[in-house]
Amino acid sequence: MEHLVSPSLLAADFNNLENEVLMINRSEADWLHLDIMDGVFVPNISFGFPVMNAIKKITSKPLDVHLMIIDPDRFITRFKEAGANNLTVQYEACTHLNRTVTEIRNLEMRAGVALNPHTPVSLLKNILPYIDMVLIMTVNPGFGGQLFIKESYNKIAELRRIIDEGDHKVLIEVDGGIDTINAPKLIESGVDVLVAGNSVFGSNDPVRTISRLKQLL
């Protein structure tokens, strides 16, 4: 399949948020990525339901929501109501992961599981039949603008083998330090969805940067 691009709103200008979202609407982006942080699971706080509700009213892109929070089960229904199309939870934050992703799917959202850099992909073997996407974090989650962890290429390739050998219909998404330089190798390693924050919103021409990310072979 053709790879997807999901710009991360965490890197946007929050003083100009509406225009940033409208810019994404005009672009070739496939999804709009929202990082929800609670200040407990990660050492940062981002935004919650009021901001997400406002974004949903003006975006034309599916909302790709990544929960970096403890006990995400408390809010699954509320994120559905707030407009999430994809809902990704952290492997490390879920005590009963199968139950969590099943509930996400029951609410007709794409269910994703995210792995921190230190978490091996082998732990996902038994959950792959029950999910739609794996998000590989290529930086330590919590803050934008970090350097890409180069060991992630091998991790992604290993996950790609596991998915293909099991004939699972699971997308591989990647987030953290993604730009037009490392994206080609990521796609070659097996990535289906590129999440890009600073490289998009920090560029002189974000729409063109998104187009370049989409056109990579």
Q: Beta-carbon neighbour count of residue 160 at 10 Å?
A: 18
Could you give the CA distance from residue 192 to residue 35 in angstroms, rounded to a whole number? 19
Cα–Cα–Cα angle for 193, 58, 19, nearest 5°?
A: 85
Residues 31, 61 contacting (CB under 8 angstroms): yes
The residues that are catalytic are: 35, 175
By three-state DSSP, how is residue 203 classified? coil
Buried b (16+ CB within 10 A) or exposed e, 108-146: ebbbbbbbbeebebeebeebbebbbbbbbbbbebbebeb
Chain-centroid distance, C-alpha 11: 13
